Structure formats: C-alpha cells, structure tokens
Structure 1
Amino acid sequence: MTVQPKPIPALYTVYILRSTVRHASLYIGSTPNPPRRLSQHNGLSKGGAARTSREKLRPWEMVGLVSGFPSMTAALKFEWALTNPHISMHIPSESRIAFSTQRKRSGHPRRPPLSLTSIISNLHLLLRVPSFARWPLSLHFFALEVYAAWQRWDARTEDQLREGFMVLTDFGHNNNQSGTKNACATAPNDSQPEDGENQPAWGIHALPLDYEPLSDYVEKAQDVLDFERQGDCAVCHETLSPGEGLQAICTKSGCEAAGHLSCWSRHMLETNRTDDILPLQGNCPKCGGHVQWAEMMKELTLRTRAPKEVEKLLKRKKRRVTTKPRAQKT
C-alpha cells in the first residue's frame, strides 16, 4: 500500500498535564487538538489515558505545551524523549541530566519519577539538542508558577535556546503578566469562564486547530499560480514555468514574489550565513519582509498535498466575507 504524503499539520502539540487536586501528579502527552484531549483526560468524552482516569486526581489542567511540530511522528518523537530522558538517543550522553537509579525485572532502566523540575529541565535540554533545535517550535505556558519555574531554570542554565525562539504565556483573563505575549491557557474543567459568551476565546480554546490563519496567504498563492503571475524567480531571476517544480510564494501580505523552492532555501541560508541544510527564516528579496520558512512550507505542502483541503478553506473564507454584516449608516 502506498502511503500518501500529508501536508504539515495545522497544529500538533506535546503537552504537560497537571492534576488540579494534587499538583505533584503530572502527565505528558501529544495531540493535534488540546481542548478535545483535555476533555478526554477529564472524562467528559471518550478517550483519555489510564494514568489520568482516577477520579480523585480530576480535573486535570494543561500547564504547558510545545507547538509547531511538522508532523505527528515528530511530535511523538519529542513526547517520547521528554517522557524517557534517561534513555532517549536524542540526548547526547554528555548532556544527560536524568538518570535511572532502578531497574525493571527485565533488566531495563526504570523511568525516573516525573516532577515539575525534571520536566522543565529536560524540556529546556531537548529544545536545545540538534534533533529538535531547528524545528519551528514554540513553548507555551498557562500556569504562572510553572512559567516561574521555567524562568528560574533558564536563568541558571549557561546554554540558551536558539535566537528568536518564542516562549509565550497566558495565565487567564485577569492574571496575565504585563509585557508578556499571550498565547494559550486553559480552564481546569476545559471550559470557558461563565461569562465566556461576552469575552473572546482564550487559552487552548484560542489555538488555531485548522488552517484558518493561513486562509489569506493560501488564497494569494492560489491566485498567483492559477492566473500564472509567477513571472521570474525572485532569487535567480529565471522564468518560472507554470506547473513545473516546487514554487513557493512570499508569505507577506501584498507581495507576490515567487521562486523555486531551492532558490528560496539557498537565499535564506546565504543571507543568514549558516551551513545548515534547511533555513529557519529570512527576508524576501523583493519586498524585504521577514519570512518564516515554516509558514511558507505549511502553505506549500497544503497546496501540493491537500488540494481538497485548500478548496474547502477558500470556500469557507468566501462564505465568511459574503455574509459579513454591512455597517449601518448614521
């Protein structure tokens, strides 16, 4: 059976779960849909995990998560490494900070018990190791004390995360730190506050679970390619032949710069003076705007691997535009 290639997922996360009854009880998992998964862990819908099924530990809350994984497999690798840092091959032996002091009957090392400190320290380590450091990941916290633990560990650790790595926080409507970019949070019972109808979505409920944030970008790229307005490659200046090879479009609104995928990659790597194989970010040679490689690749894989998904996305966008209420004259 042939495995069909899939686009980069709209969202895939590795999350940290904590019991609101007993904060020492922690769990690590992965999901493309944090609200649904939290509902399962709390017994509000089918699913969940045996380790989170004890009623005396419910409800659970998500106190942190890592987002931006390019595939389910990538997220599962990170989840396994974070859960088993004492034996993970993703962590160089000289960098290992988690060790097993006991063995199972089979002779294999027994997993060290989870604690907030161990999770935070190993999370910091995994986000720095070569296996994961260049992935387009972001770290989210939505419990103030957990974020404080992260800050303490980050301050005492000599090795720092790559430049530009995003650490985002949201501790609820009335408990956000000033000057901190809000990203995601969750109510312990997986529901919005009682007055949620009058407030914008927040926490994990505000996370984009589909490709909606890309709709304008997808529409622009589709329009450029459908009407063959690619012109010349923005990097090598050779003519772009419609339908030949992989062609990527600038992510910035209003810019229709197109180019060979290999040219975009070479341009970003050269301007950032790096010997890496794949870039992280760069500037468009036409408009000068800042371009995230991950965003460009998400649109490209969506367009080339899931045309039906693109069609549905653009139909929904068109429907929203046509049904938008007109402003009343005064």
Structure 2
Amino acid sequence: MPAFSKPIPPLYTVYILRSTVKHASLYIGSTPNPPRRLKQHNGEVTGGAARTSRQTLRPWEIVGLVSGFPGMVAALKFEWALNNPHVSLHIPADSRITVSTQRKRNGHPKRPLRSVKSIISNLHLLLRVPSFARWPLKLHFFAPEVHGAWTKYCDTVSEPLRETVPVYTDFAPPQSAADEGVPTEDPSPWGIHALPLDYAPMKNYVEKTQSLYSFEREGACVVCKENLVHGEGLYATCSNALCEGTGHISCWSRHLLGNNPGEDIIPISGCCPKCGGEVIWGDMMKETSLRLRGQKEIEKLFKEPRKRKAPARAAPPS
C-alpha cells in the first residue's frame, strides 16, 4: 500500500540511544515503536543495527526522543540531519554548529565524533531551522543528566525555541521495596513504555467525528460560514470534547495562521472559532487522515477486547 494512502501514524520518533556501560557511546535512529526497537538494539529480538550489536556496550537505553512526525519519511529526514549536521542542507551554512575537519577516503567530509552536548546543540538547532520549525514536534527526556544538558544549553542560546515545542520528562522511578524482594503492585510504565503506540488516546475524538460525519451533521464552516456539503470537500473538526465545530481544512489553516499567512505555511495551533478552546493542527490532521484513510485502524480502535475464559473450577470432593 502506498504511503500516501495510509493515515498519519499514531507515533513516529527519532531517538537518542546510549550505552549503559559506556555513556560516550551514542546512536541516533528512528522508529514507530521505541520499546520494540530497544529490544532489537539489545539483541532480545532480531533486527538491531550492526553498530549496536557489540555485547560490551549492551544493554542500551533510550535517553531522549523527538515525537510528532507525520510519517516515516519525515522522521528519516530529521534523523539523517541529526546524524549528519556537518553536511545537512537543512542547516544553513552560516548557522552550522558541527563542522567536519577530516575527509573520508572517498573525499567526503568525515562525521565528527559526537557527544550528548553536540547532539543536544544540533537538536536545538534543527528544531529552529525552516525545514522543521513548523512541524508539531515534541521533546521527551528519560535521563535526568541528558535533560540537564538540554536545560543548560537552552540557557546559553540567544534564540529560543518556539513556545509550541513541548518538553516532557519521564525519569525512572526511585528504587522501591520491589528491588529488595518485597512483593508490590505492578509499577506504572514509564519512559518509552508509557508512550502511546496506537490511536487509543484519540478514541473519544474519533467517536465524536464518526457520529458527526456518518449522520451528515457537518453544518456550516466555522470560519467562512458556507454550508458544508457532505462528501464534497476536505473538512476538519475541533478536537475539544464538547465541540462539533467543523470547517474546510483551507479555512481552518487560514484562521490558525492568523495575521502571518505569508510567513508560515503550516499552522501549529490556535483557538476554535466556535468554542474558543485550543486546537492543535497536528491532532486535527491526524484525525482527518484516520477518518479518510484508516477504516481498518478505526475498526480496530472500537473492537471489543475478547473476554478471557474463567479457569474451570475443580469438582468438590465427593
């Protein structure tokens, strides 16, 4: 199936991998499923990268990642730029932080050695360059010292990130009685294991739009007030729970871009004209693509889980 016929995936990430044995050993990759990919890097399942296959560096851990990519191609572009900031055309020459001073045998620039500091600085830079600045990306840190390096670097940069790039932290919980052999309840998932790998967080939103469009209740565009003819246009609906404000995608875009339509191409967020609540352009487009291209995913989302059969009880003694 062509990529353009699929809905925007629930999750696609570019991650920073670090050896727990040698913290200077780092790796950058991309994946829609960080827990599974980490198992591959650690040799628990097949498919890990050759560069992470050395037993002397295992186990590896994901210490940070960027999420919010609209698909594999977008994530691969960002991954390549973060891996090759010394040659990436996404970074203007006068803004480049990492510069190659050596050449490979083929004459191409050799990738400089990297550190957490160099990755952090180039990550900050890539989130500001025109190629990626308008994407609905999110930052996640899972190691306190890596998040500390990010915070420290941000304090030294004169040009901050836009406010719509959220930064999340989810560190390992403190050691508990379970580490001492005392039975406890199952701990809550944290880090990459707490990330949503499916469309479950969108279930209520999708349920609302399925009802709205199935019964042709689109109404008038919340921006231009023109009547929305069912099935004859690309429409998007407000993501807020009690609002069914719907409009042309082009009208939503124009409204959210506000007074700067010439400077920006892709909206980020704004207020719904009907309810006044905040809407995120990326969330609205994910729902729209799921509604138009993801019937199988929607059916899976609303499929009732199978009930487990109760174990047979032993017959009472006669």
TM-score in same-fold range (> 0.5): yes
> Please, which runs of 5 or more residues in structure 2 have no aligned partner?
176-180, 309-318
Is the contact between residue 117 and residue 149 of structure 2 (CA under 8 Å) also seen in structure 1?
yes
1:309 Cα deviation after fit: 1.3
Question: Which residue of 286, 292, 297 maps to 2:280?
Answer: 292
Aligned residue in 2 for 1:201: 189
**Deviation of 1:172 (Å):** 1.6
Measured after TM superposition, the shift of residue 278 of structure 1 is 1.8
Partner Cα separation in structure 2 for residue 196 and residue 38 of structure 1:
26
Normalization by structure 2: what TM-score? 0.90
1:148-227 correspondence to structure 2 within 5 Å = 148-174=148-174, 198-227=186-215
Corresponding position of 1:182 = none
What's the CA shift for 1:61? Answer: 0.5
Q: CA deviation at 1:312?
A: 1.9
Work out whether 1:145 is the aligned partner of 2:145: yes
**2:55 is aligned with what amino acid?**
E
**Runs of 4+, deviation exceeding 4 Å:** 1-4, 193-197, 271-274
Offset, 1:267: 1.2
Q: Which letter maps to 1:157?
A: V
User: Aligned runs of 1:1-330 on 2, under 5 Å?
Assistant: 4-174=4-174, 198-270=186-258, 275-316=263-304
**Structure 1's 5 and 40: CA in aligned 2 closer, same or farther, altered over 3 A?**
same
Task: Kindly state the Cα deviation for residue 16 of structure 1 after the two structures are TM-superposed.
Answer: 0.4
What is the deviation of 1:174?
2.6
Q: Tell me how many residue pairs correspond in the alignment.
A: 303
- Alignment RMSD, CA only? 2.1
Q: For the residues of structure 1 that align with 2:161 and 2:171, how far apart are their CA atoms? A: 23
Alignment partner, residue 179 of structure 1: none
Judging changes above 3 Å, is the alpha-carbon distance between structure 1 residues 196 and 32 closer, same or farther for their aligned structure 2 residues? farther
Task: Give unmatched runs, 5+ long, in structure 1.
Answer: 176-192, 324-330
Q: Deviations over 1:7-58 (max 9, x none)?
A: 1110000000000000000000000000000000001011111110000100
Equivalent-residue separation in structure 2 for 1:272 and 1:295 (angstroms): 21
User: TM-score with structure 1 length normalisation?
Assistant: 0.87
Identity of paired residues, percent? Answer: 64
Structure 1 or 2, whichever has the larger Rg, is 2
* Cα-to-partner distance string for 1:209-264 (whole Å, 9 max, x where unaligned): 01111111011001000011111111111111111111111100011111111111
- CA deviations on 1:257-305 (whole Å, 9 max, x unpaired) are 1111111111111267773122111111111110000000000001101
* Cα distance in 2 between the residues matched to 1:194 and 1:274: 62
Secondary structure, in 3 states, of the residue corresponding to 1:90? coil
